[in-house]
Chain A
């Protein structure tokens, strides 16, 4: 049995040293491919404006990144397990609005009147539960009714946006319970709490995908659903949990957003899904599922936000922002296509 394997299988002999290491480094390298881009952006920013390399500016960028990055975190996990959720950008708006509607008193001096069903401290739990329910309903449509996930969540995107407009009467809600806005505006150890929370969530997510059996299962499900099912992985259950988790993260991003800006804006999250997809894809997550890391996705969001910051500091009028977003996505895609040598279809 061993004679024939001598030519090729020596690396496989247990204890034969550290042969697999070069391959692992190649894998890591792919993950880090956006770091040079971020570095170059930093250099450009430094050249363009002395204000770039100040802690105020950089912390500001990170704070603006935090809400978007939670959506990216959820979408990256959903994409890795081979699904897609467009409704995240509406969840970030509708979940806080529903929570406000439940906790705000039905009469009084506030400009917005809810039904006052729950006490004020219940606002964050209520918001998160709404997120879970939305994700659960997405999962129900996709996994039980077997409708097309793209169209189903596209419908949800529009429907939830409409629900938000209906409940909030199309207005921003400026009075929110103090507990609700705390996380978004507090500052811990010199940086906004939201930034720390996002870092912790990304770290937890990365560890789960790397070291938990259910996390590893996402790659198997996204890579080949049939094979995962035949290997005894509870494909539907795990996919459902991931969809619910994605919407939960979006609802939580809504909490941070409201705290950050001090109000539930009526256009909260509007149009974000394009940036979410852009960040995940330039961060190396495959739209076909089964490939990508959360670290890559995180570098994707940061790179995207730095571009905006650098151009703003460079005096480019904000009306050109959309053009730049589109251009950066296309350039990043072309670069990563040739850097990784893999087709993205």
Chain B
């Protein structure tokens, strides 16, 4: 529990933020148990921990949304403003969330000065001028007259950062800022952050993506189960140690590190899933591939590569403009989810909040959403059977919940994702199509989710993982890399990270076919 930072007082500038002994309870749950954190001025500090470790609660405390039950927070040596004094908090700290918090129908300029447009008539030209100056000051290349909803995720984040800085804040919290960005966007974001760091802005960076912690941050703090575990310079901490600190176990380096063996994909077996010249106009070009029993195939690609759309076509959410999908040699009716389900295609959607879960309903209802026809005779759904079914899923996937009747919104991210997977597996699909199955879940849940996907293949069925996460793709026997709607490279199980990443970025390492676009 040592922070080891107070020796800097007097000589160096005071830390951008210093919190100690923070306790926060929500009813019976202890969300933060005497934790502390110190972010030096101009530092870039990572906060990592599994879901439920208390990161979000700490963010709420540091941004003044929650009043801690005990403990103090200070900014640049001065005690934190009173609770509810929004203006004072805004001048100290800002948080940039995963989801953009700008108002989409207002212009960038209005968003920047929202709530402080001044009294009297709005002088539009002056407002735009001020916005332009502000954006230029922080080197953000965005037109102040543009509609905020038309910005890319990355531009939206820049605007939010600029807005925060214009309030005078010199400490910014970034909550999973890279989740919606592709690699180039992440690089630009990091470049901007480093630049701002040189101007003395301090960052608290929250991410599940450990590589990013190593790329960007100089110090890392680990929380586990509402407690502070360690704070150390990133350079002194190996990845294995970091993961061990997060999970509290002496896990070997990368527990999910089993590269799929070459044994899978028995040569000439009848393919479970076969795409024949499948195409979607303007999104991806005709593609052929087959997935054999026991095989996991990865469809790799960055945000605009069309791999997500391809996955959604396979499961029937989009209707292909050409070609067809076959499961076990039989064509599946295009553009119909029920037909795809009945043909044996299970689907783990990309965004569990948007497509995966009905948040207000129970774990049992969500887990059985696609099998309601099997829960009773004559179109009935019997509560007892639903509960039994859900209990079986909860036990087999190790979902942490107080019971099948608990609302799914009460679960942590990793467990919510397990419910989504439970739903996909409920029909015992012959092929499981999972789009970014581990987005926004912690390291340990990630491993267990991926081993579930792998398990589908091991029992003789097949799986397709659509992702740009190397950890997801590592469990695949083969990886097809897409770039701008066409296949740019294909890898066996022995690919190197660098080759695959460069392929997803449009640079095939070997051949160089159709790379420039």
Contact = CB atoms under 8 A, between A and B. Distances in A.
B171 interface: no
Contacts of B370: 231-232
Nearest to B387: A20
A230 B372 contact: no
B400 interface: yes
Interface stretch (B19-27, B58-66, B350-358): B350-358
A12 B382 contact: no
Interface stretch (B38-46, B373-381, B486-494): B373-381
Contacts of A4: 398
Nearest to A286: B360
B357 A8 contact: no
A291 B360 CA distance: 8
Contacts of B388: 14
Contacts of B53: none
Contacts of B401: 8-9, 12
Interface residues of B, number: 44
A54 interface: no
B480 interface: no
A337 interface: no
Given A211-B382, A224-B357, A227-B355, A12 B376 contact: no
Interface string A277-297: 000000000000011000000
Contacts of A2: 398
A174 interface: no
B337 interface: yes
Nearest to A2: B398
Interface residues of A, number: 37
B405 A20 contact: yes
A13 B395 contact: yes
B392 interface: yes
Nearest to A342: B360
B391 A14 contact: yes
Contacts of B375: 213
Contacts of A27: 405
A234 interface: yes
Nearest to B401: A12
A4 B341 CA distance: 33
Given A11-B402, A12-B399, A211-B376, A223 B360 contact: yes
B403 A23 contact: yes
B161 to A, nearest CB: 30
Interface in B50-83: none
A19 B401 CA distance: 12
Contact of A216 (B347, B355, B381, B423): B381
B505 interface: no
A220 B369 contact: yes
B358 A227 contact: yes
B395 A12 contact: yes
B379 A227 contact: no
Contacts of B96: none
Contacts of A211: 376, 380-383
B423 A223 contact: no
Given A13-B395, A211-B376, A212-B381, A230 B361 contact: no
A217 B372 CA distance: 9
A232 B337 contact: yes
Nearest to A27: B405
A223 B362 CA distance: 11
Contact of A230 (B349, B365, B394, B398): B349
B338 A234 contact: yes
Contacts of B394: 9, 12
A145 interface: no
A213 B357 CA distance: 17
A5 B372 contact: no
A280 B347 CA distance: 36
B373 to A, nearest CB: 6
8 contacts: A9-B400, A13-B391, A212-B380, A212-B381, A214-B379, A224-B359, A226-B354, A230-B356
What are the 10 A-B residue pairs with the smallest beta carbon separation, nearest first?
A223-B358, A213-B372, A231-B369, A232-B341, A11-B403, A224-B358, A20-B403, A231-B370, A14-B391, A230-B355
